[in-house]
Amino acid sequence: MASKTTLLPRSGQRRLLLGPGRRHQTPICPFCSFVPRTSGTQPRTARHDVGSRRWQSTTTTTATTTSTDPRVELERTLLELQTRAPNLVNLSRLQLALQGLRQSPGEEVVRVAILGLGDGGSGAGPTARRVLGMLLADPLVDEEAWERELEAHDPSRPLIVRVAPSRGDVGLELSTDTALHELHVSSPELNGFNLELLLMDVSAPYGYGAPGAVSIQALEDAVLVPTVDVPSVEDRVSPVTTPVHQALLVADGLMGAVNVSALPVSESSGSIKAAVQMEGVSKQQLQADFDVIDVSLAEQGVQLFRQGPQHAMDYERLWFASNLPALTTWLKAGARSTERATKPAVRQLIASLLRGTISSIQAEQARKLWRTPATQGTSPPGALDERLAEWAQHAHAELQDELDLAFTGRRWRKLGWWKLFWRVDDVAMLTNEMLSQRFMPTAEQELVYLTGRIAELGGDSPTYPQPVSSRDGETPGSEKRRLGSGEHAPAVAATASSALPKWPGHIAFTRRYLQNETVPALQSLAQKLVMQSLGTSGITTSLAALLYVSSLASSLYEAGAVAALGIVYSLGRMQKKWETARGFWEGEVREEGRKAVRAAEASVATVLEDGGARKAVGQQTEELQKARDLVARAEDALARMK
């Protein structure tokens, strides 16, 4: 018996890891790895091993010489595409395509998903199960064991059905020790097509009811790569992607017809087919793109024929009236091969995979170039220069407008010279609030957004020139702190290289400079002026009282004049110095803001002039062009392949 297969999740994608004896081989599809092989399946496993060894030897031989076999060329091109552009190609479908190319032409395994499409309330799993049973049923024999097992199967659990001739006395193999059930069926009409079927129930997500809401690419990704919830330990499930060549959507009733009609099934080039179970209704009456079937007629016909050959005419009439022959023809058309040629389903899979890769390349190019109406007709670097100039203009305007509002607002008026006597302790709080709310907050956010667009265009985050002090260990995010609790604890600079921003930090640095350097000085000056004014007033008042007491002043008015002179002098000096300091601080804030805008603009311009963004754009454009060339080579090899 072959080694047991295990499923292990890794980074959102499930890889199939084989036993110790076959670790060097490429992991096969989940269809072949859900259950351990029995002795009856050894010949098929042996063919896979021989095919893998034959492909490995062919690759080794053709590594130094150019192969003329388009099948080998296509396989090597897809492998190179997987290596160069893993984010642009559907890796699950690519692995299925590679597995088909490594098999003999005309003997590829064709995997078909039969999906019961529900509407969220009632599922179509039982209908899909009935359709599968009628497609595989043999009316020439009595009811077989696999039909009873299929009837008893829970539609909510996925089921793998392998169609192949019966091996000896064994006509049914149902695994019970693995995560998924596997059923081996012998169908005289489909035995020679090497089919593997996946039966599962799916739900139509919200939005399917709106025509045009789902693109063909999204439909193929959802239907041709269904996700199977595999039970794991401790009552948990692990989603595993199971790529298939074709998919049959089975819906039930009027709501099912509405869900199916909203899907672009006709654009799938035959890889996706839809059938709706509706009794007493024909496809011509609905004028729909999907097939209308009646499984009950097919079941009635099979039961009549099994009662005796005299019911052959009734069976034929009921069978064709059910419209199931259209589904059988579709299955055979995808899995039929003539003259040792590649099966149509495998060719459709590769063609669809290449179309999806081209769509991904185009979407990536559009995203990298971010062609918006404001930048149409200009190159991305030129558009960045225009956006930088526009940002600088808006930043200067915001600086002027916001500071005008700040220095004419209520907070600034609270710091009038005559209000310092009871607001002297609020100077730092009020000025810090003004700087935090009015010192170019929008310009700083737009600068971060602009540098993000540059990083998006370039593929990485460039290094912007920062303020001079940020390179001396005094970055905007660093500060000096004392270690320990003692008064004489040593001061050390707490600076980390990760504190440097990934955008020009001039605005934030200037704001911190104003808050940490100029605001404390302004607070100290206010306290000093208040103390000087109170001191001068107190001294002159004491002098006036002394003159009056010592009878040097002839009257109280003369003594009061001396006190008033001192008070007026102290208040006038306080007013003059405080208003001068306020005007100086206001001018310093404006000037430092202009310097910060110019420095940030120069920092971004330096990065743009260095050509880092342009070089990165060129490299990414070159990589996308290489991926496009690989797709063109694969399409050419596919066209030449038999």
- Determine the pLDDT at residue 210: 59
Segment (H or E) for 119: none
How far, in Å, CA of 403 to CA of 52, rounded? 74
What tens digit of pLDDT does each residue of 204-219 get?
654 455 566 777 888 8
Structure tokens at 454: 């540059």
Strand ranges in 152-214 using DSSP code E only, listed in sequence order: 159-163, 181-185, 195-203
Residues 98 and 185: beta-carbon distance below 8 Å: no
Asked whether the CA dihedral 14, 18, 23, 25 is positive or negative, the reply is negative
Bridging pattern class, strands 227-231 and 6-10? unpaired
Asked whether the CA dihedral 251, 257, 262, 268 is positive or negative, the reply is positive
How far, in Å, CA of 28 to CA of 7, rounded? 12
Measured at the CA of 277, the angle between CA 271 and CA 281, to 5 degrees, comes to 115
Residues 298 and 322: beta-carbon distance below 8 Å: yes
Segment (H or E) for 237: strand 237-241
How far, in Å, CA of 534 to CA of 541, rounded? 10
**Helices (H), ranges, 262-379:** 283-286, 295-307, 312-321, 324-335, 344-369
Length of the chain: 642
What tens digit of pLDDT does each residue of 390-446 get?
888 888 888 888 888 888 878 777 877 777 778 778 788 888 888 888 888 888 888
Residues 222 and 90: beta-carbon distance below 8 Å: no
Q: Other C-beta atoms within 10 Å of 310: how many?
A: 9
Determine the 3-state secondary structure of 500 from DSSP. Answer: coil
How far, in Å, CA of 467 to CA of 31, rounded? 60
Asked whether the CA dihedral 281, 282, 287, 290 is positive or negative, the reply is positive
Determine the 3-state secondary structure of 246 from DSSP. Answer: strand
184 beta partners: 162
Segment (H or E) for 65: none
How far, in Å, CA of 466 to CA of 463, rounded? 9
Determine the 3-state secondary structure of 641 from DSSP. Answer: coil
How far, in Å, CA of 71 to CA of 342, rounded? 9
What tens digit of pLDDT does each residue of 7-23 get?
233 333 333 222 333 33
Determine the 3-state secondary structure of 265 from DSSP. Answer: helix
Close Cβ partners of 99 (under 8 Å, ≥ 6 residues apart) = 26, 28, 29, 109
Residue carrying the six token digits 């099934």:
265
Determine the 3-state secondary structure of 529 from DSSP. Answer: helix
What tens digit of pLDDT does each residue of 478-504 get?
443 332 333 333 333 333 344 567 788
Q: 155, 163, 162: which is closest to 129 by C-alpha?
A: 155
Determine the 3-state secondary structure of 293 from DSSP. Answer: strand
- pTM, two decimals, is 0.57
What order do you get walking across the sheet with 291-293 strand by strand? 181-185, 159-163, 195-203, 110-118, 246-252, 272-277, 291-293
596 beta partners: none
Structure tokens at 488: 């004489």
Cα→Cα distances 221→55, 271, 467, Å? 28, 12, 49
How far, in Å, CA of 351 to CA of 358, rounded? 11
Residue carrying the six token digits 């991305």:
380
Instruction: Kindly give the parts of the chain with pLDDT less than 70.
Output: 1-67, 119-123, 167-179, 204-212, 233-234, 283, 368-382, 457-461, 468-500, 548, 551-555, 610-619
Structure tokens at 265: 């099934």
